[in-house]
Amino acid sequence: MNILELRHVTLAKEGKTLLDDFTMDVWEGHVHAIIGPNGAGKSTLANTIMGLSGYREISGDILFRGASIAALGVDERARLGLTLVFQEPARFEGLGVAEFILAGAKDKSGRTLDRALEMVGLEPAKYKARAVDKTLSGGERKRIELASIQAMKPRLVLMDEPDSGVDIDSIPYIYEIIKELKREGSTVLLITHSPEVLRQADHAFLLCGGRLVDKGAMDTMFDYFNGKCIPCRHVGKPDREEAVCEDGADE
């Protein structure tokens, strides 16, 4: 069953086409990776799915569990069960860790809080009374943000570069949260330029120039990271249909 469907979605900003007649089906309960070169539209796609400001003026349609969400704002999409984890982890001066983690959770018990912190390798006794502020490292903030996602149990979570800017000790916990979300029935979309993050997925989509140019099982998509892309309309060579993608990070 498809939890998310994009149908001929086109998004243009300042005269530049960022998503070009984009069509994609996302299977429910799976972990999907979205890969592609710098400027391919990976982050743009995530922002468009989430309905962020500046990314809602589209043509085409976006369906979530069979119903159109194209006209809905970000808050309405969040209430349906969509959430987005940004590259830069959250920091809210004065907001407590416990309050932050339990904000979107249906079960706001201490047990939920403790389990969410333990899942990301943080001792509840040391962290639940702290604030989500500059006293936490980037890796700690990333883990706490992922703990909040685990407690929330969203239907669909988009993670933009989940391993970006974190210490090496945090990475195994990030991968474990991805697995746990899948076990609990969530669908995960990983926006990444990392082959190691791709290995956490079941399936992958390859973007180039705002278009979907390939898709397949995770283990069939590693040629991209080995410099063996497929013919596409690369943004760096717009006049050549045979242009070849180059590896890199997204915008």
Amino acid, single-letter form, for residue 172: P
Domain that holds residue 204: 2-84+154-226
Kindly tell me if the per-residue pLDDT of 117 is higher than 60.
yes
Q: CA of 208: how far to CAs of 18, 200, 241, in Å?
A: 10, 22, 12
User: pLDDT tens, 125-152?
Assistant: 999 999 888 888 888 888 898 999 999 9
Residue 236, in any domain of the structure: no
Which tops the pLDDT comparison, 123 or 1? 123
Kindly tell me if the per-residue pLDDT of 211 is higher than 70.
yes
Residue 35, in any domain of the structure: yes
Give me the torsion for CA of 142, 83, 25, 187, rounded to 10°: 60
Residue 105, in any domain of the structure: no
Report d(CA 146, CA 29) in Å as an integer.
Answer: 18
Residue 89, in any domain of the structure: no
Mean pLDDT of the chain: 87
Residue 198, in any domain of the structure: yes
Number of domains in the chain: 1
Tell me what the mean pLDDT of segment 31-53 comes to.
Answer: 94
Residue 96, in any domain of the structure: no
Residue 49, in any domain of the structure: yes
Residue 129, in any domain of the structure: no
User: Distance from first CA to last CA of the chain, Å, rounded?
Assistant: 31
Q: Which residues pair with 35 in a beta bridge?
A: 206
Q: Tell which residue, 92, 76, 71, has the closest CA to residue 145.
A: 92
Kindly tell me if the per-residue pLDDT of 189 is higher than 90.
yes
- The C-alpha R_g of the chain, in whole angstroms, comes to 18
Q: Tell which residue, 203, 194, 148, 202, has the closest CA to residue 171.
A: 194
pLDDT at residue 231 in the model: 57
Tell me what the mean pLDDT of segment 154-178 comes to.
Answer: 89
Q: Which residues pair with 211 in a beta bridge?
A: 208
Can you give the CATH number for the domain in which 33 is found?
3.40.50.300
